[in-house]
Structure formats: structure tokens, C-alpha cells
Amino acid sequence: MTTRTPTKTKTGGLRRMLAATALGGVLLSATAPLAGAAETEIRALGYTSNLYLWNMEEEFYGTTFPEAAGDLISIEAVPHDLAGLKGPEVLSMLQDGTLQLAVQNMSYMAGEDPRFEALDLAGVTLTNADAKKATDAYKPVLARVMEEKFNTHLLGIAPLPSQVFWCRDEISGLNDLEGKKVRVFNSTLSDFVTGAGGTTVTIPFVEVIPALQRGVADCAVTGTSSGNTARWFEVTDYLYPMNVGWSMVFWAANKDLWDSLSEEQQALLSDQYGKLEAEAWAVQEEQDTDAVSCSTGGECKLGVKAEMTLVPVSDADMEKHATIISDYVLPNWAERCGADCTKEWNETVGAALGIEAPLP
């Protein structure tokens, strides 16, 4: 059988097929490799095209993976925004085989199952190291849930830079969020902002800048790097770097596709995505430090230079932060997830971090 050289990252074919999916109901489900086939072609959905994670993925799909895979597997990838997808639909599309392999923000899937919020409860982990401890403890739970409930095989989990507050008008600390309209993108962030006395508004990332311009929102939460890259500093003057999450992302494959692969192909994908995951954990810290510095007039190597005011996070702010977590974030999530789910979280994430969520 004739084999083909693995292709580098191509966007046109997948984009056209995704367009066909939307217009004509054409699915992207994988066909099982023929017996003895030398190569399997997989279509992948990548992260947002103007953010650094896609830059990492583009290198991965275009160079790193093909060099490791030889003629065993080739992957064709396109960013999800160029494919016309917003994000929350990715899990269901992986589940039914419309997508073969994809990356997306984990908390976007919390409407399907509250356990997708479990690693990103607002403000619970404040450092990369603690987020890694929590992830290592809970990853087997998510892998099981994704396989049993969503027909999806988990390949990796990593954080984006810390989620912080970008405010249009002057603030001096956490108390100044009281009464303000704050853009959030998941339930646990809503719990935190409510605990701080703010009013939450849910706005897609691409609509935040006009929302801030029109006064639909006074402040908005997003990552240090993504806000800088998207030039939120053009509509906000105050950066308040209180960490309220990581916007954790996952890479996963449709399980029917996964089960159709040989053991050698599965081992290759597990190994390569494990390396991509590890790289993303390391890059997160570098991106965080650089993005805050770039946005607030400091040294700038990776991001866009700006002159925002950096609002210090005081000890009093952190005391209130802890109260919000114990009074709002943990109990509200526990209520959404249920007693068995909360108990499992306490035995995994809670045990790793030395904290406990109240049983509902």
C-alpha cells in the first residue's frame, strides 16, 4: 500500500469540512484505519488563532509531531475560531464524532457536568505548582468521566495564564469591585464576583472590548496574556492581578477514533500530547510574568507594550479572597456537583491542597 508523507498543519481542508458540517450536516467522524494501513489521518481542532497556545500547537502539528510520528499518523489542524466554533459545543462534537481531536477551555463544559469546573474553582489555586498538584490528583477522575459519560479520551490538561481583572475606571483593590458590572465566562467566576459584591455579565471574549467601551461592563476577567494580546489595554486603564483561575484547557480525542488506533499509535499520541502538556505548563509561568510587565509599562519580551496602572493586591484583599472562597466559591460549586462529587473532590484535589469543600 502506498504511504504518504505526513502533512504539515493545514487549515483549508478542515475549515471547508467544518463549514460543510454547519451547512450540510457532513460529519467529520473518523473512518477506522484499513488493516495494514501505514498512515492514519486525523483532523484536529486547535485553540484560538491569536493566542499563544495556538502558536505552540501550530509548531506541534506542523513540525514536532510529524517528526516523531513518521508515517504512522498525520494530523491536520485548524484554530477553533477560524473554523467558526465558539467553544462550548466542542465536547458534544467530540462525543458524537463530529470532531476527532480538539482542545478547549474545560470550564466551558461545566454545563454538561460540574466536574469540569473542579480544577478551576475561582481563586482556589493561586500558583502554578498548586494548580499542578490539583490537576495530577483529579486527572484520573476527569479521564473516567470523559470516557464513560462523553465517549472521549483525555490526552492532556494545562493552564492558561492567570485570570485577572481588567477595569476601565480606577480601582484600588477588591472592595472596589462592589457594585461594578464584571464580565465573567463561567459559574465559578460568577460566584467569586458575587461574593465580592459585583454584578456579573457573561460576554464572549470577542465582544468584550465593545462591551467595555459602551459601559455594558466596568471590568472584565481574562488571562494576563490573552488580555494583553487582544489589546484590552486600549479600553481599560487598571490591571488588578488577583488570580481567580487559570482557564484550564484539555486536549481530547473521540473515543471511537481512539479505540480504532493501534497500540503503537495510541502510545505515540499519549507520549506526544504529554510533552505538549508539559511544555504548556512551563510556558504558562513565563507568559504570566511577561504579560503583566508588558501591560503595565515594564520589560516586554513576548507581549504588547502598554501603560496600564498595576493595582496592588493587599493582605486585606487576600483575607477577603479567602472568605469569598469559603463562603461562595466552594459551597456553591458543591451544591451544583452534589455530595458524591464533592466527596470525591475532597479526596483528590482537597487532599492535595489541604482544603475541604462542604458537603451539600
**Mean pLDDT in residue range 45-67:** 94
CA dist list (Å): 45 to 17, 75, 174: 12, 10, 37
pLDDT at 25 over 90: no
| Residue 45 cell numbers, joined | 481542532
pTM: 0.86
Q: What is the pLDDT of residues 65-113, one digit of tens each?
A: 999 999 999 999 999 989 988 788 999 999 999 999 999 999 889 989 9
Q: What are phi and psi of 135, to 5 degrees?
A: -65, -45
| 24 confidence band (pLDDT: 50, 70, 90) | very low
Average pLDDT, the chain: 89
pLDDT for res 276: 98
Q: What are phi and psi of 210, to 5 degrees?
A: -65, -30
CB burial class (10 A; 0-12, 13-18, 19+) of residue 353? middle
Q: What is the pLDDT of residues 246-277, one digit of tens each?
A: 999 999 999 999 999 999 999 999 999 999 99
Amino acid at 219: C
The percent of residues above 90 in pLDDT, for the chain, comes to 83
pLDDT for res 9: 39
